[in-house]
Structure 1
Amino acid sequence: MLRSTPGCIALAALAIAAAPLAARDKSALPKELPPVFEAVVNCRALTSDSERLACYDRSVAALAAARDKEDIVVADRTTIRETKKGLFGFTLPKLRLFGGAEGKEEEIKEIESTISAVRDSADGLAVFTLADGARWKQTDGGATFARPGLSIHIKRGALGSYLASVDKGAFVRVVRLSQ
């Protein structure tokens, strides 16, 4: 009899999240998966129902313990996309932290947000704080007439630059500021 426990739910979520990976080119995947994950997958090979269930119970408990200790992190595509949006504007090294084969990762090219605060910097140009807490500084002299509550659209420009449009106005150059 299959039980509906948090471990079983976690296993089901893990299986659903891993399904798209199985369809991909195997060469794009890491050579080794974490042992705690391998243990869950290896339970499938057991033919006896009782042995397989006992194996799943043990390995899912170990997987949940690894998650609780933050030794392993499981994320779905939506979470990864939101994380990438939060990092938009920063220059980061090419790491495969967010899945996908090198060169095949989904690239965020623009974001839409709402301005939560605006202040003038020492040089008189605007610094925008977005709804997610990201801070962007205007780098050219165009007037934006930015106020809290207005929409902002930021997109990649040429040669690593970024352009922002406040409330569908003209684009001005901006740069992402560290928190």
Structure 2
Amino acid sequence: MSSKNKIRLKPYINGSIMLTRLPEISLRPVRIEDCHIIWEWANNFDIRQASFNENLIDWETHIKWFKNKLRDPHCYYWIGLNSDKKSVGQIRFDLDPKTHEAVVSISISPQFQGRKYGQVLLEEASDILFKKTSAVCIKAFVKLKNQRSAHVFKKAGFHEFSKAIINGCPSFIYMKSKQ
């Protein structure tokens, strides 16, 4: 599962066009050995601030949660690897088998943030989820103040579906439907 070296055209009002090269990503299923790095990413200050629960996650709680996710048949969980095979982030979809709606959770390693890996990881993993499962749509919950994530979801083809208060936080709900 790998993205090709994509080039995007970005048109400007004045008629000029900028070529934007997106990073290459491959996906592999999350494994038990990923537990520690995912815990480190989850406890990164910026990632905690973007989360609906900003408290640090203790190791024992994380291990229990992580093992449950690995056993969950409705959880689709991948690590994104760059062209050097370094882990750049994680993406998880929790699919409701009754509604066929999935909820996405994504985080990018702090050392790879700001390089468009989030956009490519979202695009590639969403495509795979739609092709290999019964998912008809994907929902993402993003705090209103988290403009960086909102931008990534829009770039990855999600649209603003509605606004809501989630855990006391004004939030966007983004959605992407199966094509």
* TM interval, short-chain normalised: under 0.3
Per the normalisation by structure 2, the TM-score is 0.23
Q: Which has the higher contact order (CA 8 A, sep 6+)?
A: 2
Structure whose CA Rg is larger: 1
Per the normalisation by structure 1, the TM-score is 0.23
